[in-house]
Each structure stands twice: as C-alpha cells, then as structure tokens.
C-alpha cells in the first residue's frame, strides 16, 4: 500500500471508526480529504505532504501520538504533523500564539499544510467563520513569509476572508 492510501486509512480509522468524529454533518474524513484536495488544487503532488493532509489532526484529536505517525509514515510526515499540531494552552488565542511560531519555524511546507487546513475550514462555512475572520490578522502576520511559494494560497485565503 502506498503512503497516501495508508494515511487515508489511518486517519479514517482513528477519526471516524474509533472516535466517531464528525465535521459538521459529515464524517471527519471529509475534512481531511478537503485539505488534500486544496493542496492538489494549488499544485502540490508530493506524497508526504498529501499524506500529512490526512494526518494533520490525528495527534491533536485522537489517541495517536506523534511517534505513531513517525513509525507508520516516516520522519517528514511526522515533522509536518507535529508542526501543525496545536500546542496546549488555556484558550484558543494562547494555543495559536504558541503554535504559529512552531509552524513558521518548520518552513514553507508546514505553512502550506496549515494554509490548506485553514482554507478548508473557512470554505466549509460553518459556525466558526466569524472566529476565523477575527483571528485572521494574527494568523497572517505570524505565518506569511514572502516568496516562500505559498503566495497563491495566501491570495486565495485573503479573498475568502475579505468576502466574509
């Protein structure tokens, strides 16, 4: 089985089958699929990054540990998943303030993964849209790096945020 297919099965097993997690009215795997789709939409085809799209929330939202991701999917996928996994904190604002520098330090691929996740989240148009709009200035300030290859994704997200 290839890396991407294994990541899809792993994420579905842990998010949906074992935890019963939903993303709105659909099983959580739909969100993971959306993140992969957005990466592909912006030209991404590297298997490690696409696998990380499926696994980006598995450490944060299930009983799986980062070492489980590394053992099953390798160091690079685990590095990306670890970078976008929220740090603990007493509020979302504190968690973001601790997590954003970690993502930025991990480099353009980690930022690209987080951008795809955020685009998927705001495109789903749930009750959290106002929250994402309110935190967008901090998100952009913390993660925007000129000429890192993610400009098209930033432009897309800017347009979505301006229209909401």
- What residues are annotated to the active site? 60-61
**Alpha helix (H) ranges present in the chain?**
3-11, 29-41, 47-55, 58-61, 66-73, 75-84, 92-106, 108-123, 129-143, 151-163
What is the CATH number for 96?
1.10.3210.10
d(Cα 38, Cα 31) in Å, to the nearest integer? Answer: 11
Q: Domain residues for 51?
A: 3-163
pLDDT of residue 124: 85
Q: Are 153 and 115 in contact (CB under 8 A)?
A: yes
Task: State the pLDDT confidence band at 1, using cuts at 50, 70 and 90.
Answer: confident
Q: Are 3 and 47 in contact (CB under 8 A)?
A: yes
CA dihedral 35, 46, 87, 21 (to 10 degrees): 40
Q: Are 32 and 53 in contact (CB under 8 A)?
A: yes
Neighbours of 110 (CB within 10 A): 23
d(Cα 104, Cα 115) in Å, to the nearest integer? Answer: 11
Structurally, the chain folds into a number of domains equal to: 1
User: What pLDDT digit, counting tens, does each position of 82-137 carry?
Assistant: 999 999 999 999 999 999 999 999 999 999 999 999 999 998 866 678 899 999 99
User: What pLDDT digit, counting tens, does each position of 58-74 carry?
Assistant: 999 999 999 999 999 99
Tokens (6 digits) for 82: 């670890």
């Amino acid at each position: 089985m290839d890396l991407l297919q294994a990541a899809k099965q792993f994420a579905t097993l842990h998010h949906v089958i074992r935890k019963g997690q939903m993303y709105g009215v659909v099983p959580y795997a739909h969100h993971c699929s959306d993140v992969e789709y957005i990466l592909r939409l912006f030209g991404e085809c590297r298997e490690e990054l696409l696998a990380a799209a499926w696994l980006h929330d598995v450490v944060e939202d299930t009983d799986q540990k980062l070492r489980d991701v590394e053992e099953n999917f390798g160091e690079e996928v685990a590095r990306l998943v670890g970078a976008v996994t929220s740090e603990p904190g007493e509020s979302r604002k504190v968690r973001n303030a601790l997590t954003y520098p970690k993502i930025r330090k991990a480099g353009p691929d980690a930022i690209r993964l987080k951008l795809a996740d955020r685009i998927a989240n705001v495109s789903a148009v749930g009750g959290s849209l106002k929250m994402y709009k309110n935190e967008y200035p901090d998100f952009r300030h913390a993660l925007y790096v000129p000429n890192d290859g993610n400009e098209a994704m930033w432009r897309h997200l800017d347009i979505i945020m301006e229209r909401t």
